[in-house]
Amino acid sequence: MNIPEGYQRIEGSERRIAPGARLIGPADPNETVSVTIIVRRRPDGSPMPEMDYWTKTPPGQRKFLSHEEFAVRHGAAQADLDAVVNFARSHGMTVVETSVARRAIVTSGTVAQTSRAFAVELGRYESPTEKYRGREGVIHIPADLANIVEGVFGLDSRRVGGHDADPANTVTQTPGGVATLYNFPGGNGAGQTIGIFALEGGYKTMIDPSNPNTPPKPTDINNFLGFDISPN
């Protein structure tokens, strides 16, 4: 792949072929690819709380921001989002979503469009366990976006995790037991939001359909699950 003039690499974006995999051909240039581009926090924003704050402040005394407050203090600058949106559209990609709070722009485009935009060669790879669309080397972006874009995700479709067996001598815990171990504050959690990170839909086993109370309805957000707790 020839790197366009004025492009720079995104540090930390290098990918290597999966262990045991081999390149079997180029990716279909007409295949649709969903890409999430993450930009920096707004330069004039407030610093994030250090870990020292969370370890020294009891759960009941911690102060949390609303979604709107978090977006204003720690989200992306609108000018940065706009610059990336213009870049994506200039390469024919569709902008599906933008988020100040998540500092993200989700785009949709063909393999040909995204390959040109990020100066990568997407191929079809096969390993003993899967077939995937992938790349080798680093991602590149125009120099005027180099200080704005922190990562580009979705070009590579290989699995990135799996489920391991529980360690030996482990036991299950009830919700009350977990609350005691972690010194949760009192109350039923009504109105709060829980975020669950899970691989391959594993979170679904955490919601017990036989529970006599009405279970919350989860919402998937780009591999991140969040749901609100409401009083029964």
Q: Is pLDDT larger for residue 176 or for residue 204? A: 176
Please state, in angstroms and rounded to a whole number, the distance separating the CA atoms of residues 30 and 64. Answer: 45
Question: How large is the average pLDDT for residues 136-140?
Answer: 95
Confidence of residue 156 (pLDDT cuts 50, 70, 90): very high
What was the pLDDT predicted at 226? Answer: 41
Residues in contact with 81: Cβ distance below 8 Å, sequence separation at least 6, in sequence order: 39, 98, 100, 105
Confidence of residue 142 (pLDDT cuts 50, 70, 90): very high
Please state, in angstroms and rounded to a whole number, the distance separating the CA atoms of residues 232 and 9. Answer: 51
Question: How large is the average pLDDT for residues 88-114?
Answer: 96
Q: Is the pLDDT of residue 225 over 60?
A: no
What was the pLDDT predicted at 13? Answer: 93
**DSSP letter string, 69-133:** HHHHHHS--HHHHHHHHHHHHHTT-EEEEEETTTTEEEEEEEHHHHHHHHT---EEEE-SS-EEE
Confidence of residue 187 (pLDDT cuts 50, 70, 90): confident
Per the prediction, the chain carries an average pLDDT of 85
Q: Is the pLDDT of residue 227 over 50?
A: no
Please state, in angstroms and rounded to a whole number, the distance separating the CA atoms of residues 80 and 99. Answer: 11
Burial code (b: 16+ CB inside 10 Å, e: under 16) for 37-61 equals: bbbebbeeeeeeeeeeeeeeeeeee
Burial code (b: 16+ CB inside 10 Å, e: under 16) for 150-159 equals: eebbbbbbbe
Q: Is pLDDT larger for residue 66 or for residue 107? A: 107
Lowest-pLDDT range of 79-93, 117-131, 168-182:
168-182
Q: Is pLDDT larger for residue 194 or for residue 146? A: 146
**CB distance 38 to 104 below 8 Å:** yes
Give the CA-trace dihedral at 119, 122, 127, 130, to 10 degrees.
Answer: 120
Percent of the chain with pLDDT over 90: 55
Q: Is the pLDDT of residue 148 over 80?
A: yes
Q: Is pLDDT larger for residue 40 or for residue 46? A: 40
Structure tokens at 153: 């995700």
Q: Is pLDDT larger for residue 33 or for residue 174? A: 33
Which residue type sits at 1? M
What was the pLDDT predicted at 232? Answer: 36
Please state, in angstroms and rounded to a whole number, the distance separating the CA atoms of residues 91 and 86. Answer: 9
**CB distance 148 to 80 below 8 Å:** yes
Confidence of residue 224 (pLDDT cuts 50, 70, 90): very low
Lowest-pLDDT range of 20-29, 56-65, 87-96, 183-192:
183-192
What was the pLDDT predicted at 169? Answer: 73
Give how far Cα 27 sits from Cα of 151, 163, 230, Å: 21, 28, 46
Confidence of residue 79 (pLDDT cuts 50, 70, 90): very high
**CB distance 151 to 37 below 8 Å:** yes
